[in-house]
């Protein structure tokens, strides 16, 4: 009869075979963002989405969608750009009179659409392209006038694809110093939902936390790790969202993947039954993950048009923590029960740590070499 040890490589191989499916889940829930500037002469609408997401705009996606082939699909993207949004002023449909498409350093596509102004209110923005996107695709839309006044904000999805914005009768025709918002700051519930959605679909963040917790023997060290991770990412989330410390996502995202690899390898290579100082590790890497949360939050239009930063920041972070607590309530009792099994300590923990390392390594390659 073969020993249980002989089954360990087979278990690791099985976990590795699940890698492509798990990697497909690692995505940013804030899949696209739009900002509109309204003045007396027209409406400038800028839409940003990941290059890979643009394939869903085509009835038959091009065989290759990447930076190298961007110029080949550029004419098609320009053609699709005018179909992204449908705008009406009162009951009058608006048409684009200028379209431009470009690729950013972050490998995102920027669609720049200009509409001639028409009298009428409200001004309705309908994101028609959301009907073509996956059901979990979330877009954000912020609307200001050219003086920086906040006219409206909301997050959109297939079930809620439109935003109606009351337009003042007198609009500035040129940029002037920002004044207080014309409309209230985005509602608490919108950013709270964004926070919950972000942590529940932020699989890299959850995998990092799971990698730390899987090596813990009791509730107290688990609670300490979660607390340190929470304090750290809340700190950098606030600093980055307020614009005091900003690190590009091309740096932050590989660092997040590297933190996952580090935790997985430490679990596999250290001989201690329970690695020491995990709270410090959770805090240090939690600072990095906070910048990742902030990147998603800033893309959602936080603070657009002079709107208050504090309420959206608080509600988003509260949503992140609520989602994290919900995951912990389910995961911690399960982990504690598994830790009580000698077979899990001997085989399950190494197998789980191997999966953490494999996923983290793939994401690291995806965000560096493969990018």
pLDDT digits (tens, 9 = 90+) for 26-57: 444 457 889 999 988 899 999 998 887 888 88
pLDDT of residue 285: 92
Give the DSSP H/E element, type plus range, for residue 198.
helix 188-200
Question: Which is higher by pLDDT, 90 or 242?
Answer: 90
Burial (Cβ within 10 Å: 0-12, 13-18, ≥19) of residue 151:
buried
The span from the first CA to the last CA of the chain, in angstroms, equals 47
CB atoms within 10 A of CB 288: 20
pLDDT (tens digit per residue) in 64-76:
677 777 888 899 8
pLDDT of residue 371: 62
Whether the predicted pLDDT of 176 surpasses 90? no
Lowest mean pLDDT among 62-76, 120-134, 276-290, 325-339: 62-76
pLDDT of residue 102: 92
Whether the predicted pLDDT of 13 surpasses 50? no
pLDDT of residue 357: 94
pLDDT of residue 11: 41
Q: Report, in this order, helix, strand and coil percent for the chain, each rounded to 5.
A: 50, 20, 30
Give the mean pLDDT of the chain: 80
Lowest mean pLDDT among 36-45, 168-177, 214-223, 352-361: 168-177
- Does residue 280 sit in helix, strand or coil? helix
pLDDT of residue 140: 84
In the predicted model, what is the mean pLDDT of residues 85-107? 90
Give the DSSP H/E element, type plus range, for residue 322.
helix 310-339
pLDDT of residue 77: 92
In which band, very low, low, confident or very high, does the pLDDT at 20 lie, cut at 50, 70 and 90? very low
- In order of 7, 324, 343, the CA distances from 3 in angstroms are 7, 38, 12
pLDDT of residue 301: 57
Which residues have C-beta within 8 Å of that of residue 54, sequence separation ≥ 6?
65, 73, 77, 80, 109
pLDDT of residue 65: 73
Instruction: Report how far residue 307's alpha carbon sits from residue 150's, in angstroms, rounded to the nearest whole number.
Output: 6
What is the number of residues in the chain?
Answer: 371
In which band, very low, low, confident or very high, does the pLDDT at 5 lie, cut at 50, 70 and 90? very low
Q: Is the dihedral of CA 248, 288, 313, 24 positive or negative?
A: positive
- In order of 34, 121, 211, 222, the CA distances from 88 in angstroms are 17, 9, 50, 53
CB atoms within 10 A of CB 36: 25
Q: Is the dihedral of CA 18, 20, 26, 29 positive or negative?
A: negative
pLDDT (tens digit per residue) in 162-175:
999 988 766 555 44
Angle at 139 between CA 134 and CA 145, to 5 degrees: 155
């Amino acid at each position: 009869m073969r020993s249980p040890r002989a089954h360990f490589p087979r278990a690791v191989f099985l976990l590795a075979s699940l890698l492509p499916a798990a990697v497909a889940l690692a995505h940013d829930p804030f899949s696209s963002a739009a900002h509109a500037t309204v003045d007396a002469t027209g409406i400038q609408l800028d839409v940003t989405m990941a290059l890979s997401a643009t394939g869903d705009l085509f009835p038959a996606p091009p065989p290759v969608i990447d930076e190298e082939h961007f110029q080949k699909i550029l004419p098609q993207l320009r053609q699709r750009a005018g179909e992204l949004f449908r705008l009406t002023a009162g009951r009058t449909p608006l048409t684009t009179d200028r379209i431009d498409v470009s690729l950013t350093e972050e490998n995102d596509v920027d669609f720049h659409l200009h509409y001639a102004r028409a009298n009428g209110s409200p001004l309705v923005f309908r994101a028609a392209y959301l009907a073509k996107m996956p059901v979990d695709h979330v877009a954000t839309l912020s609307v200001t006038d050219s003086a920086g006044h906040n006219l409206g904000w909301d997050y959109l999805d297939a079930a809620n694809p439109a935003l109606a914005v009351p337009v003042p009768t007198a609009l500035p025709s040129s940029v002037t110093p920002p004044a207080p918002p014309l409309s209230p700051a985005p509602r608490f519930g919108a950013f709270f939902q964004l926070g919950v959605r972000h942590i529940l679909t932020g699989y890299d963040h959850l995998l990092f936390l799971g990698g730390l917790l899987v090596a813990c023997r009791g509730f107290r060290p688990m609670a300490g790790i979660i607390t340190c991770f929470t304090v750290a990412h809340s700190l950098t989330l606030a600093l980055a969202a307020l614009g005091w410390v900003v690190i590009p996502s091309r740096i932050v995202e590989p660092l997040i993947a590297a933190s996952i690899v580090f935790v997985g390898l430490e679990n596999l290579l250290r001989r201690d039954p329970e690695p020491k100082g995990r709270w410090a590790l959770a805090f240090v890497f939690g600072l990095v993950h906070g910048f990742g949360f902030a990147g998603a939050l800033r893309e959602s239009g936080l603070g657009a048009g002079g709107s208050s930063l504090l309420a959206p920041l608080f509600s988003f972070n509260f949503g992140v923590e609520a989602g994290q607590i919900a995951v912990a309530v389910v995961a911690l009792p399960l982990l504690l029960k598994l830790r009580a099994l000698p077979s899990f300590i001997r085989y399950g923990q190494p197998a789980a740590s191997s999966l953490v390392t494999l996923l983290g390594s793939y994401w690291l390659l995806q965000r560096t070499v493969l990018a």
